[in-house]
């Protein structure tokens, strides 16, 4: 860590900082430049982060040298992680995993219908919300455990693995029974109690990036799960909030190669939530593949006009089928498959 | 609701939309302009929001006329709400409520010390985190129930009411026993399960605006609590995330008069989290009062250099005392008191 | 235009608005709903935009129905525009135009060297700054006219067409003499005097999206040029400013299909400025192609370590060559060529 | 400057960096930590900024120690600057300078009327646009030199000094003749040619912060003017672009104390553009004063409903008069005057 001092920092202030740092068992050194003096600290930055150094007298700024995440970083593990989610499906390998399904599970019939169709088009996992985080208390809130039961039935029929969002810790056992991958939603990306609990399980976890969260914070959330001993973490880019309002969110595809440059974890992209418009989903799916995504998460609904949620961004099964054909060609052009 | 059609929308597409809207029991009307045809719908927009109209063929855009929140709006209640939080403290009246205390409860001694000092300077409530949402799994996570016990002791000694953040639904009974106001933190502003549960209680709730959430979304979160029957909702502006990085967040004071123009709920400002720098807290506290805030929430620590969290943004008790003197003068200049 | 009234708007306020609207020669109609009354106005929205209706008593909100741009919209021209920039190069057709070259023209030798290399790898245009907008007054500000002369020499040798940024209106004649496409930089996207002047010429214009500008504003800037009679407008996405700081900007690829859904103008992507990191340029170039970009603008430098500007985001010619090979395969997978 | 190396940086890469740095006449030193090696460089960072170090092999990240601006910083001058703009008006002193007037100069009569009224209420300067930057080419573009003539007449009658925005360098002599303070608008904050030219004059310059520009960039733009020898620079906060859409921009009042903590330059706030809603202008004006602003810039129009531009955010003279009374009381509460 580098502590940059104010031009007029006094010798007494410098000594005070040195003492504090040394009291933590660390060894600081001083480098006096012409315009600024800096104090460097060798060793565990985590210990030092507990000191609010920017509030100390004489301090102008504190610069971290090390990344605050460890287990999620390439320093810890340099080759890309391949997450085995069961059923022969691996996320992070040569094959790009396509996850498809409705935003919410609305009925048994609809779900089974969508599941069969997306399976036929090449999806390997089924998404579906049983408990829904809705901005309005007056909107449909999900079918609850019944939704998970229908998903399990769809798995039995199609072989598709299941992903669904866990929001309430009180339901964790239910999710462990039904789903293959637990999704942590964007609004809960920093719900640390939730992260800690799924970190204690050995179930694969897909963490969606919060709409106002940096890539670094996404990796810190992954660190919560990893530090609990659960190594099966998959990251998901799903759009960040910006001033642009022609799209619902700004899907940040830069995050795909940027995450891969600092972390070994696989990255999935959700272009449905990321753009909020079904007409943009195919273009952004192909772009995701081209820039290195390890998976896609796409909303598909038998009849988007009747969808209880997110119909604006859901694809018809026929449109999804078309997307998969193009996706296959683009994947092949970057030496991968879907 | 106004449905704007594409220039080339066909008669068939228009009829299809009309039928769907009518099937919900609503009465649409068509207005054909030279460049665009629009369909207007009279009546309950909530019903209509369930239709993903932007995904319908022929539709260019859908514009809401009504606000999605009701109970939180000035349409529902035109005069400002005064929230009685007990002990004679009302938030939203002539007196600006100052809430002060440490970020986290770190020890019994420190808490009692801070409580006595802020009480003496004029604070009416004590803040303190017993369970802490920390970005890093390697940081101090709070004392848990012991923290709440120390707070209760501080209340007994000083008469200060208590505010603390509830994160995990499993702790709700504990919070109902100990605290006077339940805080919903910025990271949980859209944790709807949490909002629903506190909506079922009759305990005052302070909802902090999420760092990527619009004012409209903050009011929707309030709506969750209000629609559960709990009318004691206090809003809190605490900074939004922008590209500016000289401050930790961008405290959005515009939100104070803007919220008051559309809602009857009182608004408190947290300049400590909002700026992330203790050197800016006083200036922004005074500005908050000048633009109409009903309360302040300020981090104070006996020894910020030793704080386990947020020391960079915590004030020394002596600095807080000075702030309160200036706050009193500014409050008086806008015909209020602290 | 739809004027939404406040719930308590008086009859007198409504009449006042109606009169104002009628005084502009427009025909308003009133629709009184249960919760809100709205006034709709048929006809030219541009006329109405001159009235500050949101400031009128009784008005809650004003909603535009028409887009504020006309000539740039798909309403005006439904098929994609193909911009002939000379020398047989068309932007917006089946072939994706690759523009490459150094950030600044630093010397004749370097420029000629880069030009020959990028030409060999498949670029069709040469980029290079002769006048540079630099954040710091202490940085290299460009070679001026000499830079343009070296570019002209490079064109003669290689056949590459030239793109360079015009910043100062006093240089417009110079640019008309030397370059094939005039670039309006991101920082000047809303320099309306500049836009008006290039609108009077018949030289192709490439307009870069400002880092804080919406797609709608980019189209309004295009409208300035188009309304001057210059139809040769090319848009360029180059990254917007968000809270994410792992990348220098957030390249907004959603803009590519989003612009194409509302406008007929071709879109080029600049992944070098958009990400600010050379290590991400290839991935984002491929993604640009996959989502429908009509061109790429890539910084290439013979020796990025010696570059006077933007060396961090410049590719070595050999890396560019590799990018072009992959670009060719991805282009082919979406039925295009580079 | 601190160069942070990748964990696997080779000895050869380190030597290569050292040589490059030394070739610039600087003296680097190496500090090898357990997890990272860093190279520190003592001396002129400006020289080093010309090297694109982040692109060098083995480099993970480069951290600046010094601020990129010098003349604008508190390091250069520690006490606040007082800018004498003529006529006995000083910006940055005990008296808060209130600048008021219409967005655009629309007619001689209107301008003289507004000038007399704002003068009577306590304004010391008159604002007014003669050349207007308008998003739409179809909107009113200003009266040009006639507008400036009317302003000069208003000055003669009222004694108010004049501020107006210069956009086109070709008009600089005209502005030097007519106005007392040249305004650089938000859209031109990084129009470096413009900044350089006004830097050569000795006319006071008010630089508005661009809607996507950081405080650091605002100070860099000030540096352009200061480094030209013109010390009369006034900064202006006028709202930044964020995701919040209830206000037109997010007026960033944190910038006031934040700028003052790093720079000696005075700061004026424009709450009219900053919020875009006249109903919020008074509250935010009072807040600006409370947090330390040295001036206010407020739009006032005799008849906002007839304004050619920005009528939504303009105050009636009577509302401005009321604002000034309250402003006076708040100013007094923080030991200043208006």
Instruction: Decide if D210 contacts D186 (C-beta within 8 A).
Output: yes
Q: Map tokens 């499993």 to a residue.
A: B170
ipTM higher than threshold 0.95: no
Q: Do residue C197 and residue C328 come from a single domain?
A: yes
The answer to whether the CB atoms of C254 and A214 lie below 8 A apart is no
Q: Do residue A163 and residue A296 come from a single domain?
A: yes
Window B:180-199, CB contacts with A under 8 Å: 187-188, 190-193, 195-196
Determine the Cα–Cα distance for residues D19 and C23; give it in Å rounded to an integer: 75
Q: Is B245 in the C-facing interface, judged by CB distances under 8 Å?
A: yes
Instruction: Decide if A207 contacts A184 (C-beta within 8 A).
Output: yes
**Res B206: pLDDT:** 98
The answer to whether the CB atoms of A137 and B223 lie below 8 A apart is yes
The answer to whether the CB atoms of C75 and B7 lie below 8 A apart is yes
Q: Is A76 in the D-facing interface, judged by CB distances under 8 Å?
A: no
Between A and C, how many CB-CB pairs are < 8 A? 128
Q: Map tokens 């300078």 to a residue.
A: D97
Q: Is B4 in the C-facing interface, judged by CB distances under 8 Å?
A: yes
What whole-number percentage of chain B has pLDDT above 70? 100
**Res B335: pLDDT:** 98
Helices (H), B50-133: 108-121
Q: Do residue D159 and residue D47 come from a single domain?
A: no
Q: Which residue of B has its CA nearest to D328?
A: B333
Q: Which residue has the higher pLDDT, B134 or D259?
A: D259
Q: Which of B38-47, C46-55, D35-44, D72-81 has the highest mean pLDDT?
A: D72-81
Instruction: Decide if D234 contacts D181 (C-beta within 8 A).
Output: yes
Task: Dig out the tokens for C252 from the structure.
Answer: 């907004």
Query: Confidence band (pLDDT; 50, 70, 90) for A15?
Result: very high
List of chains touching A (3+ CB pairs within 8 A): B, C, D
Between A and D, how many CB-CB pairs are < 8 A? 47
In chain C, what residues touch B29 (CB-CB under 8 Å)?
31
Window D:258-277, CB contacts with B under 8 Å: 258, 261-262, 274-275, 277
Whether the model pTM is above 0.90: yes
Task: Dig out the tokens for A260 from the structure.
Answer: 């891969």
**D76 part of a folded domain:** no
Which of B48, B192, B279 has the highest number of chain A CBs within 10 A, making it the mutation to test binding with A?
B192
User: Of C11, C29, C63, which residue sits at a domain end?
Assistant: C63
Determine the Cα–Cα distance for residues D338 and D325; give it in Å rounded to an integer: 9
List of chains touching C (3+ CB pairs within 8 A): A, B, D
Q: Do residue A7 and residue A147 come from a single domain?
A: no
Determine the Cα–Cα distance for residues C281 and C278; give it in Å rounded to an integer: 5
Determine the Cα–Cα distance for residues D307 and D25; give it in Å rounded to an integer: 59
**D233 part of a folded domain:** yes
Cα–Cα nearest to A257, from A231, A290, A226, A211? A290
How would you class A335 by CB atoms within 10 Å of its CB: exposed for 0-12, middle for 13-18, buried for 19 or more?
exposed
Determine the Cα–Cα distance for residues B299 and B319; give it in Å rounded to an integer: 11
Residue D2's φ and ψ, nearest 5 degrees, are -115, 125
What is the average pLDDT value for chain A, to the nearest integer? Answer: 93
Instruction: Decide if A244 contacts C215 (C-beta within 8 A).
Output: yes
Q: Is B223 in the A-facing interface, judged by CB distances under 8 Å?
A: yes
Name residues of chain C where pLDDT drops below 50: none
Indicate the angle between helix axes C255-262 and C215-227, nearest 10 degrees: 50
Q: Which residue has the higher pLDDT, A25 or D327?
A: D327
In this structure, what CATH number is given to the domain that contains residue C8? 3.30.70.1140
Q: Do residue A12 and residue A100 come from a single domain?
A: no
Question: Can you name the residues that pair with D99 across neighbouring β-strands?
Answer: D125, D297
The answer to whether the CB atoms of B258 and D242 lie below 8 A apart is no
Q: Do residue B326 and residue B252 come from a single domain?
A: yes
Integer distance in angstroms from the first to the last C-alpha of chain A? 44
From B243's Cα to the closest Cα of chain C, the distance in A is: 4
Compare CB distances from D190 to C187, C220, C311 and report the shortest one's residue.
Answer: C187
Residues A157-170 have a mean pLDDT of 95
Cα–Cα nearest to B121, from B323, B332, B334? B323
In chain B, what residues touch C35 (CB-CB under 8 Å)?
66, 75
pLDDT higher than 90, residue A62: no
Q: Is A77 in the D-facing interface, judged by CB distances under 8 Å?
A: no
The answer to whether the CB atoms of A304 and B135 lie below 8 A apart is no
Compare CB distances from C52 to D137, D187, D305 and report the shortest one's residue.
Answer: D305
Query: Confidence band (pLDDT; 50, 70, 90) for B55?
Result: confident
Q: Map tokens 């207005």 to a residue.
A: B31
Q: Do residue B15 and residue B160 come from a single domain?
A: no
Determine the Cα–Cα distance for residues C314 and C305; give it in Å rounded to an integer: 9
Task: Dig out the tokens for B100 from the structure.
Answer: 């002060």
Residues A18-34 have a mean pLDDT of 86
The answer to whether the CB atoms of D214 and B326 lie below 8 A apart is no
DSSP B233: E
pLDDT higher than 90, residue A230: yes
Please, what is the Cα angle at B138 between B136 and B143, to 5 degrees?
Answer: 100
Indicate the angle between helix axes D255-262 and D215-227, nearest 10 degrees: 50
List of chains touching B (3+ CB pairs within 8 A): A, C, D
**Res C239: pLDDT:** 97
Compare CB distances from A65 to D38, D42, D241 and report the shortest one's residue.
Answer: D38
Q: Which residue of D has its CA nearest to B283?
A: D291
Which of D283, D293, D323, D338 has the highest number of chain B CBs within 10 A, making it the mutation to test binding with B?
D283
Residue D181's φ and ψ, nearest 5 degrees, are -135, 130
Query: Rounded to whole angstroms, what are the CA distances from B273 to B30, B284, D59?
Result: 49, 11, 34
In this structure, what CATH number is given to the domain that contains residue A192? 3.20.20.70
Query: Do the bridges between strand C59-63 and strand B2-5 make them parallel or antiparallel, or are there none, so unpaired?
Result: unpaired
Q: Which of A19-28, A298-307, C236-245, D55-64 has the highest mean pLDDT?
A: C236-245
Q: Which residue has the higher pLDDT, B312 or D207?
A: D207
Handedness of CA C83, C88, C89, C90 (dihedral sign): positive
Residue B206: which domain range?
A: 83-333
DSSP A229: T
Q: Is D245 in the A-facing interface, judged by CB distances under 8 Å?
A: yes
Determine the Cα–Cα distance for residues C67 and C83; give it in Å rounded to an integer: 23
Query: Rounded to whole angstroms, what are the CA distances from C90 to C98, C158, C222, C337?
Result: 11, 18, 18, 13
Question: Can you name the residues that pair with C3 across neighbouring β-strands?
Answer: C39, C62
Helix (H) or strand (E) holding B299: strand B295-299
Determine the Cα–Cα distance for residues C120 and A302; give it in Å rounded to an integer: 50
**Res C35: pLDDT:** 78
Q: Which residue of D has its CA nearest to A27?
A: D33
**Res D7: pLDDT:** 84
In chain D, what residues touch A38 (CB-CB under 8 Å)?
2, 40, 65
User: Of A34, A63, A92, which residue sits at a domain end?
Assistant: A63
Determine the Cα–Cα distance for residues A176 and A189; give it in Å rounded to an integer: 19
Instruction: Decide if C131 contacts C157 (C-beta within 8 A).
Output: no
Residue B4's φ and ψ, nearest 5 degrees, are -90, 125
Compare CB distances from C169 to D46, D168, D277 and report the shortest one's residue.
Answer: D168
What is the average pLDDT value for chain D, to the nearest integer? Answer: 93
Q: Do residue A56 and residue A179 come from a single domain?
A: no
Task: Dig out the tokens for A183 from the structure.
Answer: 């999704």
**Res A269: pLDDT:** 98
In chain A, what residues touch B304 (CB-CB under 8 Å)?
52, 55
Determine the Cα–Cα distance for residues C62 and C55; give it in Å rounded to an integer: 10
Determine the Cα–Cα distance for residues D297 and D301; give it in Å rounded to an integer: 13
The answer to whether the CB atoms of C40 and B38 lie below 8 A apart is yes
Query: Rounded to whole angstroms, what are the CA distances from A139 to A132, A215, B74, B284?
Result: 9, 31, 22, 38
Query: Confidence band (pLDDT; 50, 70, 90) for A195?
Result: very high
Q: Do residue C141 and residue C43 come from a single domain?
A: no
Determine the Cα–Cα distance for residues D300 and D123; give it in Å rounded to an integer: 11
Window C:140-159, CB contacts with D under 8 Å: 140-141
The answer to whether the CB atoms of A312 and B137 lie below 8 A apart is no
| Domain count within chain A | 2
Query: Do the bridges between strand C205-208 and strand C233-237 make them parallel or antiparallel, or are there none, so unpaired?
Result: parallel
Q: Do residue C95 and residue C29 come from a single domain?
A: no
From C274's Cα to the closest Cα of chain A, the distance in A is: 9
Window B:36-75, CB contacts with C under 8 Å: 36, 38, 40, 42-43, 63, 65-66, 75
Three-state DSSP at B269 gives strand
What contacts B152, CB < 8 A, 6 or more positions away? B162, B178
**Res A33: pLDDT:** 76
What contacts B261, CB < 8 A, 6 or more positions away? B74, D279, D280
Q: Do residue A32 and residue A132 come from a single domain?
A: no
What contacts B82, CB < 8 A, 6 or more positions away? B90, B91, B92, B93, B266
Q: Max alpha carbon distance in chain C (Å)?
A: 75
**Res A50: pLDDT:** 74
Three state DSSP letters for chain D: CEEEECCCCCHHHHHHHHHHHHHCCCEEEEEECCCCEEEEEECCHHHHHCCCHHHCCCEEEEECCCCCCCCCECCCCCCCCCEEEECCEEECCCECEEEEECCECCCHHHHHHHHHHHHHHCCCEEECECCCCCCCCCCCCCCCHHHHHHHHHHHHHHCCEEEEECCCHHHHHHHHHHCCEEEECHHHCCCHHHHHHHHHCCCCEEEECCCCCCHHHHHHHHHHHHHCCCCCEEEEECCECCCCCCCCCECCCCHHHHHHHHECCCEEECHHHHHCCHHHHHHHHHHHHHCCCCEEEEEECCCHHHCCCCHHHCECHHHHHHHHHHHHHHHHHCCCEC
**D263 part of a folded domain:** yes
Compare CB distances from C52 to D133, D212, D311 and report the shortest one's residue.
Answer: D311
The answer to whether the CB atoms of B290 and D290 lie below 8 A apart is yes
**Res D2: pLDDT:** 87
The alpha carbons of chain C give a radius of gyration, in whole angstroms, of 23
Query: Confidence band (pLDDT; 50, 70, 90) for D44?
Result: confident
Query: Rounded to whole angstroms, what are the CA distances from D28 to A34, D37, D40, D58?
Result: 14, 13, 5, 16
Task: Dig out the tokens for D269 from the structure.
Answer: 């706030």
From B242's Cα to the closest Cα of chain C, the distance in A is: 5
Which of D96, D253, D335 has the highest number of chain B CBs within 10 A, making it the mutation to test binding with B?
D253
Q: Which residue has the higher pLDDT, C324 or A31?
A: C324
User: Of A11, A33, A63, which residue sits at a domain end?
Assistant: A63
In chain C, what residues touch D139 (CB-CB under 8 Å)?
49-50
DSSP C145: H
Instruction: Decide if A336 contacts A292 (C-beta within 8 A).
Output: no
What whole-number percentage of chain D has pLDDT above 70? 100
Three-state DSSP at A279 gives helix
From B207's Cα to the closest Cα of chain A, the distance in A is: 15
Query: Confidence band (pLDDT; 50, 70, 90) for B148?
Result: very high
Instruction: Decide if A51 contacts A17 (C-beta within 8 A).
Output: no
**D72 part of a folded domain:** no
Sheet containing A59-63: give its strands across. A27-32, A37-42, A2-5, A59-63
Q: Is D173 in the C-facing interface, judged by CB distances under 8 Å?
A: no
**Res D321: pLDDT:** 98
Q: Do residue B176 and residue B209 come from a single domain?
A: yes
pLDDT higher than 80, residue D34: no
**Res D40: pLDDT:** 86
In chain D, what residues touch B291 (CB-CB under 8 Å)?
283-284, 286-287
**D77 part of a folded domain:** no
pLDDT in tens, C138-195: 777 889 999 999 999 999 999 999 999 999 888 999 999 999 999 999 999 999 989 9
């Amino acid at each position: 860590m580098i502590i940059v001092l104010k031009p007029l920092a006094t010798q007494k202030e410098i000594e005070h900082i040195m003492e504090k740092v040394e009291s933590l068992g660390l060894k600081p050194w001083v480098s006096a430049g012409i315009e600024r003096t800096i104090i460097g600290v060798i060793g565990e930055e985590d210990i030092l982060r507990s000191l609010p150094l920017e509030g100390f007298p004489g301090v102008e700024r504190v610069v971290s040298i090390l990344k605050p995440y460890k287990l999620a970083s390439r320093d810890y593990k340099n080759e890309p992680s391949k997450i085995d989610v069961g059923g022969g499906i691996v996320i992070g390998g040569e094959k790009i995993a396509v996850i498809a399904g409705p935003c919410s599970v609305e009925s048994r019939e609809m779900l089974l219908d969508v599941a069969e169709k997306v399976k036929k088009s090449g999806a390997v996992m089924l998404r579906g919300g049983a408990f829904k985080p809705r901005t309005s208390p007056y909107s449909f809130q999900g079918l609850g455990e019944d939704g998970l039961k229908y998903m399990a039935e769809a798995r039995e029929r199609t072989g598709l693995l299941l992903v669904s969002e866990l929001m309430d810790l009180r339901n964790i056992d239910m999710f462990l029974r039904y789903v293959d991958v637990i999704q942590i939603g964007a609004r809960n990306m920093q719900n640390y109690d939730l992260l800690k609990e799924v970190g204690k399980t050995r179930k694969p976890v897909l963490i969606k990036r919060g709409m106002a969260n940096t890539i670094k914070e996404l990796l810190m959330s992954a660190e919560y799960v990893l530090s609990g001993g659960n190594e099966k973490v998959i990251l998901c880019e799903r759009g960040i909030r910006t001033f642009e309002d022609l799209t619902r969110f700004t899907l940040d595809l830069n995050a795909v190669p940027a995450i891969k440059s600092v972390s070994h974890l696989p990255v999935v992209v959700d272009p449905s939530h990321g753009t909020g418009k079904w007409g943009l989903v195919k273009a952004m799916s192909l772009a995701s593949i081209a820039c290195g995504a390890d998976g896609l998460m796409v909303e598909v609904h038998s009849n988007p006009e009747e969808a209880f949620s997110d119909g604006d961004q859901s694809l018809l099964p026929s449109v999804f089928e078309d997307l998969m054909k193009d996706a296959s060609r683009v994947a092949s052009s970057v030496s991968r498959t879907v």
